Amino acid sequence: MKTIIEPFRIKTVEPICMTTAEERAVILKEAHYNLFALSAEDVLIDLLTDSGTGAMSSEQWAAAMRGDESYAGSASWERFEASVKTVFGFGYVIPTHQGRAAERILFACLCQPGDVVPNNTHFDTTRANIEYRGAEAVDLVIPEGKQPEAIHPFKGNMDTGALKALIKEKGAENIPLIMLTITNNSMGGQPVSMANIREVASIARKHDIPLYFDACRFAENAYFIKLREEGYAGKSVREIALEMFSHADGCTMSAKKDGLANIGGFLCTNDELLAQQEKNLLILTEGFPTYGGLAGRDLDAIAVGLEEVLHEDYLEYRLASTRYLGEHITREGVPIVQPPGGHAIYIDARAMLPHIPPAQYPGQALACELYLEAGIRSVEIGSVMFGKTDPETGEEIPAEMELVRLAIPRRVYTQSHVDYVVEAIIAVFERRNDIRGMRITQQAPYLRHFTARFERA
Ligand SMILES: *Cc1c(COP(=O)(O)O)cnc(C)c1O
């Protein structure tokens, strides 16, 4: 059969609240054109993020019921630890309430002020936690990774020439760890190849620098390797994932992504001494090392999620449904970051709306139109999120790209939902020349995209 179907049946349904275009016009105005300010009930299809928004399986709900809420040494912890060790292969596992807590603990143990941490592309919480320690976060993705239209099978790869040059310039002693984000979320959910992982690992080993993965979407990355890299077609995703992790010294993980859970995360390492330091910090702010801020039922749900995410029928559906959205809008001429990544489609708003200058936020304008057209919530990843003010001129320096991200929650929406999204995007694309830019009327000094207010320019 050629048709790829959702590899599940639906046992519980959650009604979507329908709205009319007239109602949405009022709602959006009242939210000051900021989609973060919407009540989720006023959203028909919510593509704001794939983080913690997935649907749990019947086995995960059954596991949650088995959750053992003992403070220390619960059976849930034992199942969780066994699952993480089996799938990831690291010696020590430290549970946390989500990914950024794992990052904070790792960098608190490893980074000193003045240190430099290279990554293909730092996710924003990763960057913030490194900078909070007074260290510098450097992005070294290959040049293709920064060009929306460039086609490359592994656009998440690290530029190993640039990595070697950085080590030479800064000195290995000032680089406490090297990171690879798999898949590379901030640059379109693009995968990293096994060959690149191997090369980065050998550079790291040569200089005695530990290599860590930001492993949030490790299963999607492993499946891309199976599909695209020579020599991996016949291997299971589980084997590929273990091979990936065998090159690293540890990882940070948000279970809200490829843990198929609504909350949770963890930190892994092979270093016994480091694990002890990390556990000491964990006790201070997260919880005892056998729960780390999570309920026993969360640990159990994650233990099952990490197994389910490796099912290849699930991964085939997952990548196919993201690709389906990307291909159907590309066919109509909508410019997107190519090729479609694992968890999201990114529309290139600068290319789609060339008449709106970056200073009038084409991404924000497009995100608002998708809501008005069909009740779809997306997120601007452009100058609203990353624009900086020039300290001398006071003028705004635009972001490198003006993107709108449509992130696909796991196992939540069906193909007809995606067809509806495709229709809406095409309708907005057809009237693109009439779309006006936006201006900010109120903003916070940091992370303004969450709370800024807008009006039409
Ligand atoms: C989501 C995410 C994180 C942070 O995880 P949280 O659970 O949201 O704290 C870190 N890195 C990447 C690549 C992510 O996608």
Domain finish residue from 281, 308, 335: 308
Ligand 1 centroid to Cα of residue 254, in Å, is 5
Mean pLDDT of 221-247: 98
How far away, in angstroms, is 329 Cα from ligand 1 center?
27
Q: Domain residues for 333?
A: 21-50+312-456
Same domain, 324 and 213: no
CA 442 to chain centre: 28
Q: Is residue 8 part of a domain?
A: no
CA of 99 to the centre of ligand 1 (A): 5
Best residue among 123, 124, 253 to mutate for probing ligand 1's pocket (most ligand atoms within 8 Å of CB) is 123
Q: How much distance in Å is there from the Cα of 422 to the middle of ligand 1?
A: 27
Note the pLDDT of residue 185: 87
- Does residue 5 form part of some domain? no
Claim to verify: residue 332 and residue 202 sit in the same structural domain: no
Per-residue pLDDT tens digits for 315-356: 999 999 999 999 999 999 999 999 999 999 999 999 999 999
Kindly report the CATH number assigned to the domain that includes residue 153: 3.40.640.10
Q: Give the number of the atom of ligand 1 that is nearest the alpha carbon of residue 185.
A: 13
pLDDT band at 228 (very low <50, low <70, confident <90, very high): very high
Spatial separation of the C-alpha atoms in residues 64 and 53, rounded to whole Å: 17
- Token pair listed for 82: 């066994």
Domain membership flag for residue 202:
yes
Mutation pick for ligand 1 pocket among 48, 100, 129 (CB with most ligand atoms within 8 Å): 100
- Report yes or no on 28 lying in a domain: yes
Q: Ligand 1 centre and the CA of 37: distance in Å?
A: 21
DSSP per-residue letters across 190-214 = B---HHHHHHHHHHHHHTT--EEEE
Nearest atom in ligand 1 to the alpha carbon of residue 51 is 1
One-letter identity of residue 352: M
Joined together, the tokens standing for residue 37 give 């300010």
Residues in the chain: 457
Q: Are 288 and 342 members of one domain?
A: no
| DSSP summary character for residue 145 | G
Please tell me the distance from the alpha carbon of residue 379 to that of residue 402, in angstroms, as a whole number. 11
Same domain, 73 and 184: yes
Q: How far apart are the first and last CA of the chain?
A: 50
Domain stops at, among 308, 333, 364? 308
- 258 alpha carbon to ligand 1 midpoint, in Å? 11
Backbone dihedral region of 252: left (phi > 0), alpha (psi from -120 to 50 degrees) or beta?
Answer: beta
User: Is residue 65 exposed (0-12), middle (13-18) or buried (19+ Cβ within 10 Å)?
Assistant: exposed
The CA 429 to ligand 1 mean position distance, Å, reads 31
Q: If you take atom 8 of ligand 1, which residue's CA is the nearest one?
A: 99
Task: Pull the structure tokens for residue 389.
Answer: 């003010």
157 and 250 share one domain: yes
175 CA to centre of ligand 1 in angstroms: 22
* Residue to probe by mutation, ligand 1, list 53, 190, 254, most atoms within 8 Å of CB: 254
Cα 128 to middle of ligand 1, angstroms: 12
pLDDT tens digit sequence for 80-127: 999 999 999 999 999 999 999 999 999 999 999 999 999 999 998 899
Query: Domain end: 267, 292, 308, which one?
Result: 308
**Which helix (H) or strand (E) segment is 406 a member of?**
strand 403-407
- The pLDDT assigned to 291 comes to 96
Decide if 12 is inside a domain. no
Under 8 Å between Cβ of 82 and 303: yes
For residue 394, what are the CA distances in angstroms to 76, 388, 390, 397, 418? 54, 9, 5, 9, 42
What is the CA angle 264-265-270, rounded to 5? 150
Q: How many domains does the chain have?
A: 2
Lookup: tokens for 168: 């030479």
Q: Which of 13-17, 220-224, 270-274, 364-368 has the lowest mean pLDDT?
A: 13-17
Contact by Cβ (8 Å): 370, 376: yes
Residues 299 and 207 in one domain: yes
Mean pLDDT of the residues in the chain: 96
Over 90: is that where the pLDDT of 388 sits? no
Cα 315 to Cα 218, 236, 410, 455: the distances in Å are 11, 12, 10, 41
Q: Give the pLDDT of residue 286.
A: 95
Nearest CA to ligand 1 atom 12: 123
Q: Which atom of ligand 1 is nearest to the CA of 255?
A: 7
Whether residue 6 is contained in a domain is answered as no
Please tell me the distance between residue 46's alpha carbon and the centre of ligand 1 in angstroms.
18
pTM of the shown model: 0.95
Backbone dihedral angles phi then psi of residue 160, each to the nearest 5 degrees? -70, -25
Tell whether the model's pLDDT for residue 187 goes beyond 90. no
pLDDT at 169 over 80: yes
Q: 130 and 27 in one domain?
A: no
pLDDT in tens, 236-248: 999 999 999 999 9
Residue 289 lies in a domain: yes
Provide the token pair at 209. Answer: 């620098």
Could you say which DSSP state residue 127 is in? H
Q: Are 49 and 272 in contact (CB under 8 A)?
A: no
Tokens (6 digits) for 56: 């749990």
CA distance 382 to 403: 6
Question: In one letter, which amino acid is 380?
Answer: E
Between CA 434 and CA 276 the distance in angstroms is 59
Write down the H helix ranges in 247-379.
272-285, 296-308, 312-331, 349-352, 362-374
Which residue's CA lies nearest to atom 5 of ligand 1?
Answer: 99
CA-nearest of 342, 332, 361 to 421 is 332
Residue 400: pLDDT band with limits 50, 70, 90: confident
pLDDT above 90 covers a percentage of the chain that reads 92
Residues 164, 226, single domain; the answer is yes
Question: Do residue 316 and residue 303 come from a single domain?
Answer: no
pLDDT-derived band at 387 (thresholds 50, 70, 90) equals confident
Test site for ligand 1: of 122, 192, 221, 257, most ligand atoms within 8 A of the Cβ: 257
Contact 46, 35 (CB under 8 A): no
In a domain? residue 399:
yes
CA distances in angstroms from 424 to 170, 240, 254, 294, 406, listed in the order given: 49, 38, 31, 39, 13
**pLDDT, tens digit (0-9, with 9 covering 90-100), for 403-443:** 999 999 999 999 999 999 999 999 999 999 999 999 999 99
Same domain, yes or no: 341 and 304: no
Which helix or strand (DSSP H or E) is residue 424 part of? Answer: helix 415-430
pLDDT of residue 446 exceeding 80, the answer is: no
Check residue 395 and report its DSSP letter: P
φ/ψ (deg, to 5) at 318? -60, -55
Q: What is the pLDDT of residues 4-63, one digit of tens each?
A: 899 999 999 999 989 999 999 999 999 999 999 999 999 999 999 999 999 999 999 999
361, 404: one domain: yes
Decide: 160 and 201 in contact? Cβ < 8 Å. Answer: no
Pocket test for ligand 1, best of 139, 185, 221, 408 (most atoms within 8 A of CB): 185
Residues with CB under 6 A from ligand 1: 51, 98-100, 123, 125-126, 181, 185, 214, 216, 254, 256-257, 265
Q: 224 CA to middle of ligand 1, Å?
A: 20
What span, in angstroms and rounded, lies between the C-alpha atoms of 87 and 310? Answer: 9
pLDDT for the residue 188: 86
pLDDT at residue 447, as a whole number: 81
Question: In what helix (H) or strand (E) does residue 238 lie, and over which residues does it extend?
Answer: helix 237-246
Cα 156 versus chain centre, distance: 13
Residues 255 and 332 reside in one and the same domain? no
**Max CA distance (Å), the chain:** 62
373: domain CATH number? 3.90.1150.10
